[in-house]
Structures are given as C-alpha cells and as structure tokens.
A and B are shown apart, each in its own frame.
Chain A
Amino acid sequence: MSIRGKAFIAGVYEHPLREATGKTVPQLHAEVAKGALEDAGLTKDDIDAYYCAGDVPGLGPLNQAEYMGLNVAQFDSTEVGGSSYVAHVNHAAQAIAMGHCKVALITLAGRPRADAKENYRTRPGGGPPADYAFEAPFRPVVTNMYGMAAMRHMHEYGTTSEQLAWVKVAASHHAQHNEHAMLRNVVTVEDVVNSPMISDPLHRLDCCVMSDGGGAVIVVAPEIAAQLKRPVVKVLGAGEAIKHLNGGKVDLTYSGARWSGPKAFEEAGVTPADIKYASIYDSFTITVVETLEDLGFCAKGDGGKFVADGNLISGVGKLPFNTDGGGLCNNHPTDRGGITKVIEAVRQLRGEAHPKVQVPNCDIALAHGTGGLLGSRMGSATLIMGGADA
C-alpha cells in the first residue's frame, strides 16, 4: 500500500493578512478553510476529515470543527511545529488511500503580531517536557538554537556567512514579485553579512520574518479530482522524521530531512535530480543549507557551496526554491511556515506562480517542513508532488 497517485491536492489558499488585528484565531482558520474550498470548487459539507496542529486553541480539531460546523469522520492534530502541515498532507493522503475519507481539510492560522498589540495570547499551553529543567536556565531561544547549529556546521565544513547569505539573497529576488511579501527589497550578500549580529553567527537577515496570516490545503480522492475544473496536483510520496539530542550524542550538522527525504523519494520513485522546484523551510538560512544536504541535493557539507552564486534563484540557478519569497521575505504565519511551502509548490505545479519566478515545465516539486529547533529537537516532513499526469 502506498499513497502514490492515491490522493490529489485540489485547493489551496494563503491568508493575505500579515497583521490580523480584530480577528480571532478560530476565525482565521475558518477564513483560510473557506478560501481553499472555493479554490477547489467544493463546499464545507464535502469535508469529511480535518487536520490541524497546536495553533488551534483548545483541544484542536474538537473546538475548531465545532466553530466551523464540520462533521468529520477522520481527524489528526499531529503537533510537530512548523513541519506539522506537511506531515498532515501525508496523513490525509494515507487516510484517503485507505478509504477512510475523501476530502480532507488542513489549516494553519494565528495572530502573534495582533496579540502583541492587543496584549493577550491565544496560544495553548501545557506542562513542561522532561528536558525543560535542563535547558530553560540557559535561555535557549529560537535564534541562538539555530545559531549553534550554524556555528558547528561552519566549524566542521568551512561553511561561511557569505554562503549562508546567498539563501536570503535568492529569497529576496523572488519576494520582489510577491505583492503580499513583507520584505520585497532585493538584498545583496553584503547587506546580509553587514546586518546586525543577532546570535552568532546569524545576522538579522539570516532570520525569517514574523507574521500573521496562514493558509489551507484541500486533499481529495482521485474520483473527486477528476470532477474538478481547477488543475490538481498529484501527491507522489512523503516522509516524516523526528530528530532529537539522542541522549547526549549530539550532532547539530544534520536535520531530520536525512531520514524523511529518502523515504519520500523512494515512495515517489524519483531522485533529487528530478525535482524542478523545491519549497524548503527557511526559518533561517542555515535551515536551508542543512536541509538541502540532507535531502541529497548535494553532499553533506557542500550546502554552502551549493547555495552560493544564485543557485537557488529561479531562472538563474539549478534549483529554484521558495519562489514566493519564503519565510525569509514573504511570511511565516504564527511562527510556522509548513503550509506555505506546500502552497507555493502547488502554484508552481499548476503553472500559477508569478510569471517572473515560474519554473518552465515544472512537473515534479518538493516541499519540506522543519518544526521545532535545529539546535535540539525537530519534526521534519518531506512531500513530493507532481502534475496530474506525473
């Protein structure tokens, strides 16, 4: 049993807001769901499965299904940070392949910027995990946890700040064409390495934006896909992995993509050389460099050289990535970007990316999500998709 060719992505919608003052989180989830349904040409009553993660307040699918009036036979609240939504596509495809459901809805939404302005938080909380007492005193925050991974990668492989900067430069070249992107100015390697040092060796422009907004994806069975007017995208393969500190045998030079990638390529029956476009989770520039190595686009340690000289810029380099501007320039809704990675890959496969960044004859694309921290524990999810004829 495989998901290959058994499920199709039929509708997507990315929330246009980057600050959602005046809207509630359940409301934002409903808005992106509605948008994706309209894109697919389906209605709410067609949905028989719902997937969400920890950004839904309360008990995930229970509260949100009630808010939206859904009657679902299948649900999943797998919470692995920003990689959740890429994993959800895999889970939905599996459920569809197994005949458990026919129309699955996946949503992400939140409003950290609006919360900060309106002085309240809507995120759910929980008791501390076992690692907390051994880490919290040392003030691990997102930037220094990715900084430690970058520092070690540089030490072992000679990766440079200039090489990391090329990831941001490529994202900015793409973002200039996205009217919704937060940062639309094209930047240079010098701009990145001369921006303020945040946490060694990561500069401000090595870091992604913080934004509100969100997105949604509709995954359907083949018989539904055949009835729809809009171009559909075939799910070819997926892989998931959790990578952690391994009892103290710490190695920060690779990500969970080392395991999720090969599984996805095997199921899809393709190799990295077949990928025409890649959405790579870009919380930081180092995230992209390690992920590209782990997915097999280059040898371990060669990521810095691989991304240099515009190799990720559409129309210029060998591997066009994040043509919406990615997390580095476009958006990073509620600090998690997995769903926008799937959405831009769908745009590319439908031929609906911005004409300036559309990859010609884009028949096979990859989306990779990274959740949690490259410097400790993370969820990794890889999804490979093709056009309807792939």
Chain B
Amino acid sequence: MSELNGMNRPSKVRAPRVNDETKGFWDATAEGKLLVKHCNSCGENHFYPRSFCPFCFSDDTEYLETTGRGTIYTYSVMRRTKEPWAIAYVTLDEGPTMMTNLIDCDFDKLEIGQPVKVVFIDTGEGTAVPFFAPA
C-alpha cells in the first residue's frame, strides 16, 4: 500500500480540547499509543475514555494500551466537496468501536470488515489524532 501513503489525508488537523478526564489519552497519542479505558470492576473496555465505567458505573478504571489494530465497522465517504473524506467506525481488537477517518487508502476500495491500523497525525500542539489506514 506504500503508493497510497499520504493519500486522502486531511490538510489540517485541529488540536483537541484536552481536559483532566482525557489528558492521559491525549498525552499517549504524542507517543504514538492508542489507549482505551479498562474497568477493573466489571472488566469491560470502553471508548471514548471517561472516569466512570459506562457499563457498571464503577470509578475504578485505568487506561489500557491497544495494539492499534481493528476492522472497519462502517464508513461513509463525503463526496460533495473538493476534498472528499471517509468517516468511519473502527472496532478495535480490544473491543470498543471508535469514530475515525480512513486515510492512506483508495476510497473506492474500502470494505466493511477490512483490517486497519492506527496512524497518528500530529496536531502541532503536543497531541496527535488517531486516524486509520488499511493494515
């Protein structure tokens, strides 16, 4: 897929607004790590990360480093614009499904179920945003 590297990347990625509840997640992105939250009480992983487990409401949660790999749950390519983009949900190998954009790929060859891996794009403000590309 090397010839597709750099294809369909956004021209600019805005830095996320980081808060105390999500600082751990965003700090890790700068090191190229994709985290989800793990609940020590019920054992479930969740996304987006929050202090309370959305399944059992325990506050005994901690970050879990993922492999950054998953599969496409669904996607949609915005066509009526100068620079089309592919929004998607990716189901991580660790369980949770997260919103992202698919990059470094041919938009006409995407498929639900296709294996993908995380690709971070630097925001220039100490964080990076997790995009995904075909694995």
A residues adjacent to B (C-beta < 8 A) = 128, 130-141, 143-145, 147-152, 155, 196-202, 245-250, 252, 376
Contacts and interface: CB of A to CB of B under 8 A. Distances in A.
Q: Which 9 A-B pairs have the closest CB atoms?
A: A248-B96, A147-B76, A247-B54, A247-B46, A133-B16, A250-B97, A152-B74, A248-B47, A134-B48
Interface of B: 10, 13-14, 16-19, 21-22, 26, 36, 44-48, 50, 53-55, 73-80, 85, 87-89, 91, 95-101, 112, 129
A247 B16 CA distance: 20
A198 B79 contact: yes
Contacts of B26: 133
Nearest to B123: A137
B100 A252 contact: no
A151 B74 contact: yes
Contact of A134 (B54, B87, B98): B98
Given A136-B16, A155-B112, A248-B45, 5 more contacts: A137-B14, A144-B77, A198-B79, A247-B44, A250-B89
Contacts of B76: 143-145, 147-148, 150-151, 199-202
A140 B100 CA distance: 9
B17 A133 contact: yes
B9 to A, nearest CB: 12
Contacts of B50: 130
Nearest to A244: B54
A132 B22 CA distance: 12
B60 to A, nearest CB: 15
Contacts, number: 112
A133 B22 contact: yes
B112 A138 contact: no
Given A132-B17, A134-B48, A140 B99 contact: yes
B114 to A, nearest CB: 12
A248 B44 CA distance: 10
B74 A149 contact: yes
Contacts of A198: 78-80
Contacts of A131: 48
A246 B48 CA distance: 10
12 contacts: A134-B98, A137-B13, A137-B14, A138-B101, A147-B76, A196-B80, A199-B76, A199-B80, A201-B76, A248-B47, A248-B95, A252-B73
A138 B87 contact: yes
Contacts of B88: 148
Contacts of B17: 128, 132-133
Nearest to A133: B16
A250 B74 CA distance: 10
Contact of B99 (A138, A150, A152, A196): A138
A143 B78 contact: yes
Contacts of A148: 74-76, 87-89
A252 B74 contact: yes
A144 B95 CA distance: 23
B96 A151 contact: no
Contacts of A201: 76
A70 B76 CA distance: 46
A160 to B, nearest CB: 15
Nearest to B92: A248
Contacts of B99: 134-135, 138, 140, 376
Contact of B77 (A140, A141, A200, A246): A200
